[in-house]
Amino acid sequence: MSKVHIFNAGPCKLPQQALDRSIEAIKDFAGTGVSVLSISHRTKEWDAVMDECRAQWKELLSIPDDYEVIFLGGGASLQFLYVAFNYLEHKAGYLDTGVWAHKALKEAQGIGQASALACSADRNYCYIPKGYEIPSDLDYFHITTNNTIYGTEIKTDMDCPVPLIADMSSDILSRRVDVSKYAMIYGGAQKNAGPAGVTFAIIRRDTLGKVSRYIPTMLDYRTHIDKLSMFNTPPVFSIFVMNETLRWLRGIGGIDAIHALNQQKADTLYAEIDRNPLFTGTADKEDRSIMNVCFVPAPGYESLQDEFLAFTKARNIIGIKGHRSVGGFRASLYNACDMEDVQALVSAMQDFEKEHK
Ligand SMILES: *Cc1c(COP(=O)(O)O)cnc(C)c1O
């Protein structure tokens, strides 16, 4: 079969090396003669994977020593609740930059007092709000660094007068992050770090233990920190594939190398969107995401939407239908998506233009 160009918003395309190693491990994990799907998580061979995975996260993101890295189930969506349970005592502030940010806020409001300090719903979340005040009496301020559905991104680590908590589901490991600016960072692995089924959390230890409520055992970050993410059975296979994905990332040069490549991919695609009279970008230019590139047919060309989807599908380009709340197209340029994939999409846009001018 000829190469399929995968632009899925999540689960993401994964590096071939990680897929190949995972296939081998399904047959025989670490020379044990047992499949990774059947291996006990209470073995030294499995401990080695957990240790390596944590160490790779710490190395790739230069995570300071006073932070813990844990792996959980339930997706980023369950983290919306975890965050409120573990951090919300009096009140919290949220930056409402899209559907996921809004869902995070809603979960916190079910636990205590939480509100949006700023919101970009007035223009269908096509920008990142600026110039708002962060009150100094908040327990924490929650942001969503990359808005997967709208293609907007907070690309710098802000100075925040209160503990800063970030959902980085869809841009973690795509660029360098100053982890020391955050009290905690979390996300579902399936956008950039691995397959679905595992959730990562990076937590500064001294930010925990400050709320008075009872925290259910499974929802208490300290449970998972104390038990090295194995209080109960971890998502073994998902962690295995994530570890292999991180090995690949380190092998190609780590965060600075992937960031340069991601920037090049995004610049190439945005340049074509801005040049091509048939298409127009939806996010404000200064807030454009380097991970999720959203665009629609230019005014007057709306009727070409389905035709372009069929045109690209015939060229094995998949996953570019935009989220229903924005419409149009979205190409997700996660780490494993390469320049060849981006070139295939750009060529398709150029050939489509020739057919319609
Ligand atoms: C996909 C996504 C989520 C939801 O992740 P799940 O793991 O499916 O719960 C949350 N936040 C952001 C920014 C996302 O892109």
Q: What is the pLDDT of residues 265-291, one digit of tens each?
A: 999 999 999 999 999 999 999 999 999
| Contact partners, residue 354, CB within 8 Å, separation at least 6 | none
List, as one string, the DSSP characters of 1-41.
-PPPEE--SSSPP--HHHHHHHHHHHH-STTSSS-TTT--T
In this prediction, residues 30-53 reach a mean pLDDT of 97
Report whether residue 167 contacts ligand 1, using a CB cutoff of 6 Å: yes
Residues 76 and 141 placed together within one structural domain of the fold: yes
- β-pair partners for 321: 329
Half-sphere exposure of 350 (CA within 13 A, CB side): 11
1 has a pLDDT exceeding 90: no
Q: What does the alpha-carbon distance between residue 182 and residue 163 come to, in Å, rounded to a whole number?
A: 7
161-198 residue pLDDT tens? 999 999 999 999 999 999 999 999 999 999 999 999 99
| Pocket flag, ligand 1, residue 265 (CB < 6 Å) | no
pLDDT, residue 354, reads: 97
Residue 144 lies in a domain: yes
Total-model pTM: 0.98
- 65-98 residue pLDDT tens: 999 999 999 999 999 999 999 999 999 999 999 9
Q: Looking at ligand 1, which atom is closest to the CA of residue 80?
A: 10
CATH of the domain at 351: 3.90.1150.10
pLDDT of residue 2: 82
> How close is the Cα of 190 to the center of ligand 1, in Å?
9
Give Cα 334 distance to the centre of its chain: 9
Which CA distances in Å does 249 have to 132, 151, 190, 213, 297? 36, 23, 15, 40, 35
Asked whether 10 lines ligand 1 (CB < 6 A), one says: yes
Residue 128 binned pLDDT confidence (cut-offs 50, 70, 90): very high
Number of domains forming the structure of the chain: 2
Residue count of the chain: 357
Other CB atoms within 10 Å distance of the CB of residue 171:
27
Same domain, 87 and 173: yes
CA of 327 to the centre of ligand 1 (A): 19
In three-state secondary structure terms, 338 is coil
Out of 219, 251, 283, pick the residue that ends a domain.
251
Helix (H) or strand (E) holding 297: strand 292-297
Q: Express each pLDDT in 233-265 by its tens digit.
A: 999 999 999 999 999 999 999 999 999 999 999
Mark whether 241 and 264 lie in a shared domain.
no
pLDDT, averaged across the chain: 97
Token pair belonging to 170: 């869809």
Write down the pLDDT at residue 178.
Answer: 98
Atom number in ligand 1 closest to CA 75: 7
Q: Would 290 be classed as within a structural domain?
A: yes
Give me the sign of the Cα torsion angle 242, 246, 252, 256.
positive
For residues 241 and 317, state if they share a domain: no
Range of the domain at 340: 253-355
Asked whether residue 226 falls in the same domain as residue 285, the answer is: no
- The three-class DSSP label of residue 309 is helix
Distance 311 CA to ligand 1 centre (A): 29
Distance from Cα 78 to the centre of ligand 1, integer Å? 9
3 is a domain residue: no
Structural domain includes residue 281: yes
Residue 192, in any domain of the structure: yes
Residue 104: helix, strand or coil by DSSP?
A: helix
Instruction: Please tell me the predicted confidence (pLDDT) of residue 357.
Output: 79
Q: To 5 degrees, how large is the angle CA 336–CA 262–CA 130?
A: 125
C-alpha distances (whole Å) from 160 to each of 75, 93, 130, 172, 209 are 26, 12, 13, 19, 21
Using alpha carbons, list the distances in angstroms from residue 289 to 150, 283, 284, 308, 340. Answer: 9, 8, 10, 22, 20
Do 262 and 174 form a contact (C-beta atoms < 8 A)?
Answer: yes
Written as one string, the DSSP assignment of 179-241 is: GGG-SEEEEEGGGTTS-TT-EEEEEEGGGSS---S---GGG-HHHHHHTTT-SS---HHHHHH
- Judged by phi (left if over 0) then psi (alpha if -120 to 50, else beta), residue 15 lies in beta
Question: Where a domain ends, among 251, 271, 291?
Answer: 251
Question: 270 — alpha (psi -120 to 50), left (phi > 0) or beta?
Answer: alpha
Residue 170 CB–ligand 1 contact under 6 Å: yes
Nearest residue to 238 via CA among 16, 114, 75: 75
- Calculate mean pLDDT across residues 200-217: 98
Q: Are residues 168 and 271 in the same domain?
A: no
Angle between helix 44-60 and 254-275 (nearest 10):
60
Rg (CA), the chain: 21
264 in the same domain as 230: no
Cα(187) to centroid(ligand 1), Å: 7
Tokens encoding 167: 């959902």
Ligand 1, atom 11, lies closest to the CA of 100
Judge whether 10 lies within some domain. Answer: no
Q: Are residues 245 and 278 in the same domain?
A: no
Is residue 233 located within the same domain as residue 311? Answer: no
The pick from 100, 150, 152 for probing ligand 1's pocket by mutation, whose C-beta has the most ligand atoms within 8 angstroms, reads: 100
The residue from 251, 271, 300 where one domain ends is 251
The answer to whether residue 8 sits within a structural domain is no
Domain assignment present for residue 6? The answer is: no
Closest among 87, 51, 65 to 180, alpha carbons compared: 65
Same domain as 242, residue 260: no
Residues 237 and 335 in one domain: no
- CATH number, domain of 95, equals 3.40.640.10
Q: Is 204 in the pocket of ligand 1 (CB under 6 A)?
A: no
Do residues 45 and 175 both lie within one domain?
Answer: yes
